[in-house]
Chain A
Amino acid sequence: MASVEIAGVSKQYAGAWAVDRVSITVPDGSFFSLLGPSGSGKTTLLRLVAGFLRPDAGTVRIGPAIVNEVPPHKRDIGMVFQQYALFPHQTVLDNVAFGLEMRGMGRKAREAKAREALEMVRMAGRERAYPKELSGGQQQRIAIARSIAARPAVWLLDEPLSALDRKLRIEMQSELRSLQKLLGITTIYVTHDQEEALAMSDGIAIFRDGRIAQQGSAEDLYERPADGFVADFLGSANLIEGVVARGPQGLHVVAEGEAFRPSADHILRENERVHLAIRPERLDLSGAPGAAQGLPARVESVLYLGSDLRVVLRTRGGALLVARAPSRGTALAEGAEVFAAFKPEDAAIVAH
């Protein structure tokens, strides 16, 4: 096994930087997600690690070695492609055994190993089938088995679940994660689905226009987003405009005429324009004004979502807020005046 270290890597296409000075360290055996909107450079970075592209600047290391000049087939990787890319002319067993065959393993040994990999993805029994005889979900399992059969040092996955329906996707997320833990394989996972990244990863880098907007653990990014883009990309966030002011108890944020105490870990500069970012589920609509910090607001609409209600509010200052409240025990009508309260630690203060 090996760590992956991406240091100051850039890649341009026709004058535009698809990946721009990106540095990421993926420790040995950990699961790292590249998350971002479509076109933000995730695939390009993954292809740089795979060796299909050469960086214009920076270095890629797998283990201790710089691999910038090493072709893909010598990098000891396994890869899962978005559209499966199974060999249509080979049986399932031959597909899965491919990496082992290329590594020079004899037929008997590699077929035994391939069967083992098929068992791991719960596809034993379909060895003799051709890919086109399988459903999309089954093909994806075969592609996964092919990528791990040779126990490569690094596992690369490019939106492997995006073509599957939601139920299967969620099932596969936990299967992939337990497989990754079982094998202890260093993994880089590309996705545009924030829930997927949050659910699976040890570390996440959020991409925006070829750059990393922020990287860290799922909790870091969710609780302490660096800016409005990250906050909004990782599940919706309510952004309330404010400005930093100095009061008797030190620096605080003034928004819509109210003062908000920052939680302990924010560094503020006086007169800086900021956003308060608050998750919908962290807004409490049940209390009366004065008991906690918050903003008075009027209910604009209430949407029933099963276990939750989605409540859209308008503050006096005109900001639109979205709150999630349990559907049981909440009685809200359109036009009602409420107080949207939140704890200081639930309001991330992010750059404007």
Chain B
Amino acid sequence: MSRTSSLAGTAERAPAARRPFRWKRAEALLAPAFLYYFVLLVLPSAAFCVVSFYGRSDTGFFDGVFTLKNYVSVLTDGFYLGSLWLTFRISVETTLACLLLGYPAAYYLAKLSPAARKKLIILLLFPLLLSTVIRVYGWIALLGRRGIVNQVLLSSGATDYPIAFLYTEGTVLLGLVSILLPYMIINITNTLITIDPALREAAAAHGAGPFKIFLKVTLPLSGAGMVSGAVMVFTIAMSTYIISFLLGGPKVKLLGNLIFDSTSSFNWPLAAALSVVLVVATAAACGAMVRLLGSPANGMAR
């Protein structure tokens, strides 16, 4: 107690003149990254927000006449709304699948010795060395009309004609999960290993068996890791383009693919409006996720 008060005393006694000096230094350190993002992210984002309120032009980027018609068509046209809903649904499914598959793996990793865990985490990150395109082509080689799976099924007589695995929602989901699972596992593992082992012992000493310990201590205290993993996976899934392009083709068009299509047809304002809608929808969903799961009862307030 005396310790706390003396610490507080030190803070109060810190000379006023030193504070601005420290702050200026901190800002100086921030400046390069800040400038980089301001020029290359904030300004362009502001620009496409502006562009989204204009009509298309055959000669330039946009026509210079203010209009809401891009948003009206995005938010009323069943084609775009359907794609938004599909994008959202696949992203939620991806997030849930990653949670269910990732949690047990993370739990196992967290139980290992730090040295053994390090080795397995390197293994887990290994696929990230390969480009997403190459890994997705792996799925095509497996699941295409003349892919390995169909070859086996045909030659074993399990089916008489190739099964259309590609260009289905399920295959897009499969691809997304296979690419995003490591992010979820690492987020949950990193939270699990911060849980003080004494808490599990305290639970055991006061009558909790292994399952109750998991339910009452481990699971709630890993809430922060599940939320950060879910936000990461969900965000990447919402904005995916290449995975759905290769595995979903013309049939499974996510919002990212529609944005690309709009730019290919030089409708920059529509692409901009779709992008704004995508960003807003993603941010809203993530905000809801953090709010819903981010209470102290879920270990977020530690």
Contact = CB atoms under 8 A, between A and B. Distances in A.
Nearest to B220: A89
Given A50-B205, A78-B206, A81-B201, A102 B299 contact: no
Interface in A74-115: 77-79, 81, 83, 85-90, 98-99, 102-103
A156 interface: yes
Contact of B1 (A72, A77, A137, A147): A137
A317 interface: no
A81 B221 CA distance: 19
Interface string B286-302: 00000000001111011
Interface string B200-215: 0111111111001000
A79 B206 contact: yes
A233 interface: no
Contacts of B296: 89, 130
B221 A89 contact: yes
B203 A98 contact: yes
Nearest to A166: B2
The range of chain A's interface size is: 20 to 34
B98 to A, nearest CB: 23
B201 A102 contact: no
Contact of B201 (A52, A130, A137, A150): A52
B204 A81 contact: no
Q: Which of A83, A102, A156 has the most CB of B within 10 A?
A: A102
B300 to A, nearest CB: 9
Interface string B81-106: 00000000000000000000000000
A89 B299 contact: yes
A150 B206 contact: yes
Interface on chain B toward A: helix, strand, loop, or mixed SS?
A: helix
Contacts of A87: 199, 202-203, 216-217
Given A71-B209, A130-B296, A81 B1 contact: no
A90 B297 CA distance: 6
Interface in A39-72: 50-52, 71-72
A51 B205 CA distance: 8
B205 A79 contact: yes
B76 interface: no
A184 B4 CA distance: 36
B148 to A, nearest CB: 47
Given A81-B201, A88-B221, A130-B301, A98 B206 contact: yes
Nearest to B301: A130
Contact of B206 (A136, A137, A147): A147
B60 to A, nearest CB: 56
B206 A146 contact: yes
Contacts of A181: none
A99 B206 contact: yes
Q: Which of B3, B4, B198 has the most CB of A within 10 A?
A: B198
Contacts of A137: 1
Interface of A: 50-52, 71-73, 77-79, 81, 83, 85-90, 98-99, 102-103, 130, 132, 135-137, 146-147, 150, 156, 165, 168
Interface of B: 1-4, 196, 198-199, 201-209, 212, 216-217, 220-221, 223, 296-299, 301-302
Which 4 pairs across A and B sit closest by C-beta, in order of nearness? A102-B207, A99-B206, A79-B205, A85-B198
27 contacts: A50-B205, A51-B204, A71-B209, A73-B212, A78-B205, A78-B206, A79-B201, A79-B205, A83-B196, A85-B196, A85-B199, A85-B201, A87-B217, A88-B221, A88-B301, A89-B221, A89-B296, A89-B299, A90-B297, A98-B203, A98-B208, A98-B216, A102-B203, A102-B208, A102-B212, A147-B206, A156-B205
